[in-house]
């Protein structure tokens, strides 16, 4: 113990600050600041300031985020899966770091706010890191890794506009054409006109084949059989997006729907844990028969 250089050892806060300053310099990041009264050492840049009442721990909020570790071995840009709706004080229940929860209170502060955060490792997952397996496989955050977050607090009063922007970005990114937007915010495309004469109404029963996906391509439901048979629903029992969207077809039609969250499952979790609250949904539907 006599030869240990105690005076030269960094504290974890000093180590993190050195890592953050080096990361900012290496990546040409500008506009970052830190609150001198904040002892956590989190650096931030406000992208959108937000507005309204100041957030508090009992508030239920929707956040969407992307994150990467400073070593770039853990990178998640899929904001469909990084989509949490819960009480602000419950964010750590979703395996989010405590530093992020504090940043929501002390940095983002308001609904509609968007910020980039550089969270020091001691406010993230510490020396043990997070996840399982090897960090080189991209499914684990190594120990003592600071984290680079871009996070938005969605303003619930503007959810329809947020969904519509998400849909437009999805259509553009996937080079989709032929979709029509209705007054409700639903997007539909008649891929194949029906050959039958029975139009879908609110009292109809339909037999369909379909696939159901989130906008990140993850399939959460579907019914497609090799023998061409379908599954049967009463229109009154399906989500509002189907109730409206299927009215654009008759027997034999094929229809694609992009359903904003208000016409899907809204703030609830649909189809088990696969559909996150306020999720936009994509359906390809083969309308086999219509019974009125």
What confidence tens digit (pLDDT) does each residue in 243-279 have?
999 999 999 999 999 999 999 999 887 666 678 899 9
Residue 61 lies in a domain: yes
% of the chain surpassing 90 pLDDT: 78
The answer on 100 and 13 residing in a single domain is yes
Tokens read off for 195 = 């050959």
- Domain stop point among 103, 131, 154: 154
Residue 286 lies in a domain: yes
The answer, yes or no, to whether residue 5 has pLDDT greater than 60, is: no
The answer on 146 and 176 residing in a single domain is no
Distance CA 1, CA 38 (A): 35
CA contacts within 13 A on the Cβ side of 37: 2
Residue 1 lies in a domain: no
Domains contained in the chain, number? 2
In this predicted structure, what is the pLDDT of residue 202?
86
- Domain stop point among 154, 178, 206: 154
Domain range for 104 = 6-154
The answer on 82 and 37 residing in a single domain is yes
**Neighbour-count burial for 189-219, b at 16+ CB within 10 Å, e otherwise:** beeeebeeebbbeeebebbbbbbbebbeeee
Domain of 193, CATH number, reads 3.10.50.40
The answer on 69 and 84 residing in a single domain is yes
Distance CA 249, CA 255 (A): 7
The answer on 77 and 48 residing in a single domain is yes
In this predicted structure, what is the pLDDT of residue 139?
78
The helix (H) or strand (E) run that includes residue 65 is strand 60-69
Structural contact between residues 268 and 278, judged by C-beta atoms closer than 8 angstroms: no
In this predicted structure, what is the pLDDT of residue 273?
62
- Domain stop point among 121, 154, 187: 154
The answer on 195 and 98 residing in a single domain is no
The better pLDDT of the pair 208, 10 is held by: 208
* Confidence grade of residue 137 (pLDDT, cut at 50, 70, 90): low
Least confident segment among 134-148, 152-166, 208-222: 134-148
Distance CA 163, CA 145 (A): 33
Distance CA 246, CA 244 (A): 6
Q: Supply the mean pLDDT for the chain.
A: 91
Distance CA 168, CA 158 (A): 16
* Beta-bridge partners for 27: none
% of the chain surpassing 70 pLDDT: 93
The better pLDDT of the pair 22, 39 is held by: 22
Average pLDDT score over residue span 223-248: 92
The answer on 12 and 141 residing in a single domain is yes
């Amino acid at each position: 113990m006599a030869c240990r250089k105690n005076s030269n050892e960094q504290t974890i806060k000093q180590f993190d600050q050195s890592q953050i300053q080096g990361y900012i310099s290496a990546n040409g990041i500008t506009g970052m600041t830190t609150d001198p009264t904040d002892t956590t050492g989190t650096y931030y840049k406000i992208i959108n300031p937000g507005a309204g009442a100041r957030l508090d721990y009992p508030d239920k909020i929707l956040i969407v985020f992307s994150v990467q570790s400073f070593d770039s071995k853990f990178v998640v840009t899929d904001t469909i899966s990084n989509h949490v709706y819960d009480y602000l004080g419950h964010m750590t229940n979703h395996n989010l770091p405590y530093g992020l929860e504090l940043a929501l209170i002390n940095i983002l502060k308001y609904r509609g706010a968007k910020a980039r955060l550089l969270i020091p490792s001691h406010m993230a997952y510490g020396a043990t890191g997070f996840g399982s397996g090897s960090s080189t496989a991209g499914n684990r955050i190594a120990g003592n890794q600071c984290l680079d977050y871009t996070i938005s607090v969605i303003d619930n009063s503007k959810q329809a506009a947020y969904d519509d922007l998400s849909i437009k970005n999805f259509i553009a990114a996937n080079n989709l054409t032929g979709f029509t937007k209705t007054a409700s915010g639903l997007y539909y495309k008649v891929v194949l006109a029906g050959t039958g004469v029975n139009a879908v109404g609110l009292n109809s029963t339909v037999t369909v084949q379909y696939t159901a996906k989130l906008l990140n391509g993850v399939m959460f439901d579907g019914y497609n059989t090799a023998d061409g048979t379908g599954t049967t629903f009463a229109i009154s029992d399906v989500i509002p997006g189907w109730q409206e969207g299927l009215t654009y077809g008759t027997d034999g039609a094929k229809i694609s729907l992009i359903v904003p969250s208000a016409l899907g499952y809204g703030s609830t979790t649909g189809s088990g844990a696969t559909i996150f609250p306020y999720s936009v949904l994509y359906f390809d539907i083969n309308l086999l028969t219509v019974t009125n």
